[in-house]
Amino acid sequence: MVANNFDELKALPRDKVAGKIVLFNYSFDKQMAAGGHGGDAYGEAVVYRGDGPSAAARQGAVACLIRSVGGADYRLPHTGQTKYADDAPKIPAGALTAEDADLIVDLVRQGQVKMKLTLTPQQLPDVESYNVIGDIKGSEHPEQIIIVSGHLDSWDLGTGAVDDGAGVAVSMEAANLIQKLHLKPKRTIRMIAWMNEENGLAGSKQYEKDHREEWSNHFAAMETDGGAGHPIGINIKGKFEIKKLLAPVLAVLQESGAGGTNFAEHVGADIEPMEKADVPAFSPIQDSRFYFNYHHTAADTLDKIVPKELAENSAVVAVVTYALANMEQPLPR
């Protein structure tokens, strides 16, 4: 049974779906991604990976297949997290490559299709793991903290170079640049390599548990989790007055084409607890045209990283981080 979206599935009589495998055939919008809006294209498609299996189960399906959520060609399947709702059976679910989804759609048009699914994912017991944290102590306000971060873990199809080895490298190098230039931040700069972003945000949750009483002293938080494409600006989660306060910094960044700004509802999964506590939050805006060709696939390997663009991201994050650390006044909340 093929459905291109949730509305098509809901429109089908339950007895037509019961006992069948549902294929959600929602296509990742490559034109939107090519226009520089890869994150928006991903957001429109990823809901089928997250919520599709439970939606199919409510209609009586026995399994669910999802057209891969990304722009990958060459028969590369895409993986990621699925959420099982409490009000629906937990049915088997898996991702299909775009090519195989197209093949199944064509076969269904010709008549009944039978499939045998062999799915190997398993949920293993939790083991002890750690966030990696390093501080550059502030010279005047060491109790006030600016977080610069990425996440350590990745899906195991590839090696996690773009998601999110690049973010960890950018954050580490930003801190390293500040030290190499012998700069003296007034506030503490805290580099965090988060653990378990992909599979439940355990590192973020533990940091919240340990530090939530100190949110008032968290001056700002930044996360890089969009690969290492050329930086073009800064996402801001916070008050509109922040842009005015950052105007001198943005003018400097604009010299390299990275002075754009975007006010976003959400800028980083690991720093979301701080976002919800009104800590001003930031992330670099990066060229996302190709990121979702590799993200969560076997093609997410080190050769996809362009060293020059990785260095550009580190420079942008370092400039913004140091500017935040040395601001004369607090950011509005």
Nearest alpha carbon to residue 246 among 282, 287, 279: 282
Give CA angle at 32 (305, 264), nearest 5°. Answer: 80
Distance CA 16, CA 60 (A): 9
Residue 21 three-state SS: strand
Q: Which residues of 231-267 are buried (b: 16+ CB within 10 A; e: fewer)?
A: bbbbbbbbeeebeebbeebbeebeeeebbebeebeeb
Neighbours of 90 (CB within 10 A): 12
197 a catalytic residue: yes
How long, in residues, is the chain? 333
Q: How many CA atoms lie within 13 A of 270 on its CB side?
A: 32
Rg over alpha carbons for the chain, rounded to the nearest Å, is 22
Catalytic residue among 197, 198, 208, 272: 197
Q: How many CA atoms lie within 13 A of 312 on its CB side?
A: 23
Residue 220 three-state SS: strand
DSSP character for 186?
A: S
Q: Quick check: 171 and 246 in contact, CB under 8 A?
A: no
Strand pairing report for 21-24 and 2-3: parallel
* List of residues 6+ apart from 145 with CB closer than 8 A: 187, 188, 189, 190, 214, 217, 218, 219
Neighbours of 301 (CB within 10 A): 16
* List of residues 6+ apart from 296 with CB closer than 8 A: 69, 70, 78, 79, 80, 155, 157, 163
- Residues serving a catalytic function are 197
